[in-house]
């Protein structure tokens, strides 16, 4: 059995966020993520890296497994649990450290090439 290395496609991530929040335009997406419309454009054309921190912070109330990878089975449960536990929520004073922890788990998982059954 071969394992596919999960990857994050910025365009698909941004489109899934628009779908989840019922947004029609990238301008609305930029407002949701708290970044400029130009940043969205640069991320879509791969001139800039996807702002994972903004995605995790602003979309923590949704299924990040699906938003990031298009699959609900890819991330280990600890990521979903950490994000959904309420310790990662807007305006929480510990949000930055929790987001960094979640992002480190996500990045390690991507590098490992593991997949969930």
Cβ–Cβ under 8 Å, residues 29 and 44: no
Place of tokens 């990040």: 64
- pLDDT tens, 36-46? 999 999 999 98
Distance, first Cα to last Cα, the chain? 11
- pLDDT tens, 69-107? 877 655 555 555 555 555 444 444 455 566 667 777 777
Cβ–Cβ under 8 Å, residues 109 and 3: no
Give pTM, 2 decimals: 0.63
């Amino acid at each position: 059995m071969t394992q596919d290395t999960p990857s994050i496609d910025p365009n698909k991530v941004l489109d899934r966020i628009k779908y989840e929040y019922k947004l029609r335009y990238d301008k609305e997406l930029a407002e949701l993520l708290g970044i400029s419309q130009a940043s969205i454009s640069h991320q879509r054309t791969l001139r800039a890296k996807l702002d994972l921190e903004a995605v995790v912070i602003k979309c923590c109330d949704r299924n990040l497994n699906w938003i990031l990878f298009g699959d609900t089975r890819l991330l280990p449960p600890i990521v979903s649990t950490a994000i959904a536990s309420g310790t990662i929520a807007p305006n929480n004073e510990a949000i930055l450290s929790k987001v960094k922890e979640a992002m480190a788990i996500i990045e390690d998982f991507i590098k490992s090439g593991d997949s969930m059954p």
